[in-house]
Structure 1
Amino acid sequence: MGYGLTETCAAATFSEHDDTSIGRVGPPLSCAIIKLIDWPEGGYLANDSPIPRGEIVVGGPHVSVGYFKNDEKTKEVYKRWFYTGDIGRFHADGCLEIIDRKKDIVKLQHGEYVSLGKVDE
């Protein structure tokens, strides 16, 4: 199992061959610097307890410098780090788990945030 995006030149994390856990994408590769940043609007904070949660941002030499001929999109998601829009949490053993996506979360009329991926019909 692994995690990465085109903007991170494919992989940013990768599970060990003997890791049989489900739902986790492994620890960061040696070239990747991954951190979680607060996204208070969605209720995810990097200092959440017992497991910190937040938007996944990726840095390192394998991250592209921007989008070809698209300065507007580049300025939106490249702020020294690449802002993935994914929400994750790190487990005690260093493995990353993807738990949500910012674009899947909408704010209701009364200010409550709901993940569209978790809404049943």
Structure 2
Amino acid sequence: MADYQLRARIPHELADEVKAVIETINESVPGAEATFSTVARYALQDYAKRFHPKIKGETLFLELPIKDLKKEQLEVISKALQDINSVVKTADVERVKMEIENKILSEEIAELMAARKAVKGGENNE
């Protein structure tokens, strides 16, 4: 299949966000060579999977806003993902489960640091 070259205009803000993502990928993943082209190609493939009439309905997509969730809520989601993974094993379920577990660990670290700070603050007051 021959390639098709695509040109598109995007807002500067979006271009800056994409540049930041590309830099993060290239810095954090050894051997990564992310470019605008690879990001655009992935985004178009993802869009086609989600919205193309011939493909739509074959896969479910779910957005989970986890930014403000507490540790207990994240643990419930993690358990649900574990149950889903026992039925349908996919890289996406594994990836999301790992992201949730990392957020849980971050919450636990923050709790420990706050407790440690409180203990040290109490020692200084004595």
TM-score by length of 2: 0.23
Higher strand share: 1
Higher helix share: 2
TM-score by length of 1: 0.24
